[in-house]
């Protein structure tokens, strides 16, 4: 299973809806991947912390070199996750940092 980290600077609902559509012009790396993949869940959070979240995930999961991170100082925004519960635990801890 893979987890993708992305941002939606101009509207999260519009961006997620776009990713869920089957027919669309391919623009981002994730568009090409979704031709062969199935979305199992979408996790959204407010704020502009894409790079910080991706950096946190990179400490725990193997990233796919160069995927989706061309505008950031990261190696990847796509991570191979063996256990989805471990991802959710890390994501929850990341989100709770704001509390």
Give the whole-angstrom CA distance, residue 49 versus residue 6: 9
Residue 25 has pLDDT above 80, yes or no: yes
What is the arithmetic mean of pLDDT over 19-28?
82
The residue with greater pLDDT, 95 or 54, is 54
pLDDT tens track for 31-81: 888 888 888 888 777 677 888 888 899 999 999 887 776 667 788 888 999
Residue 63's pLDDT is 92
Instruction: Tell me the whole-structure pTM to 2 decimals.
Output: 0.78
3-state secondary structure of 4: strand
Q: How confident is the model at residue 21 (pLDDT cuts 50, 70, 90)?
A: confident
Let me know how long the chain is: 99
pLDDT at 99: 52
Q: Is-contact 14 92, C-beta < 8 A?
A: no
Residue at token pair 């199992």? 40
């Amino acid at each position: 299973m893979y987890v993708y980290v992305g941002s939606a600077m101009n509207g999260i609902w519009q961006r997620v809806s776009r990713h869920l559509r089957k027919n669309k012009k391919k623009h981002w790396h994730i568009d090409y991947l979704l031709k062969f993949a199935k979305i199992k869940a979408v996790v959204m959070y407010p704020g502009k912390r894409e790079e910080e979240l991706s950096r946190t995930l990179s400490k725990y999961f193997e990233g796919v070199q160069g995927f989706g991170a061309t505008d950031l100082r990261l190696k990847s925004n796509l991570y191979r996750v063996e256990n989805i519960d471990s991802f959710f635990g890390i994501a929850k801890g990341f989100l709770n940092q704001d509390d």
